[in-house]
């Protein structure tokens, strides 16, 4: 998994859900927090990480070995 949300840190502000250009996140109405649902669509742009006020998102970039 390349994108992880620290649910203990996440305050449910919905910024990552709103700013992601690829709609990688869905919203869980029960927990009032985002869920990584479409990770394969991620461009690894880092917008969610940069805009998260709580720094609750961790992105691990894929490594390409040639």
Count of the separate structural domains present in the chain: 1
Asked whether residue 65 is assigned to any structural domain, the reply reads: no
In the chain, what percentage of residues exceed pLDDT 90?
A: 89
The mean pLDDT of the chain is 94
- Domain of residue 33, CATH code: 3.30.70.20
Q: Give one DSSP letter per residue of 3-44, joined into a string.
A: EEE-TTT-----HHHHH-TT--EEEETTTTEEEE--GGG---
| Domain of 36, in residue numbers | 3-59
What pTM does this model have?
0.85
Mean pLDDT of 12-20: 98
Nearest to 39 by CA among 26, 52, 56: 26
- Cα distance between residue 16 and residue 53, in whole Å: 10
């Amino acid at each position: 998994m390349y994108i992880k949300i620290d649910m203990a840190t996440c305050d449910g502000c919905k910024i990552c859900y709103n700013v992601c250009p690829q709609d990688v996140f869905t919203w869980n109405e029960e927990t009032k927090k985002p869920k990584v649902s479409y990770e394969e669509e991620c461009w690894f742009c880092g917008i969610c990480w940069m805009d998260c006020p709580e720094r609750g998102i961790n992105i691990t970039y894929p490594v390409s070995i040639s």
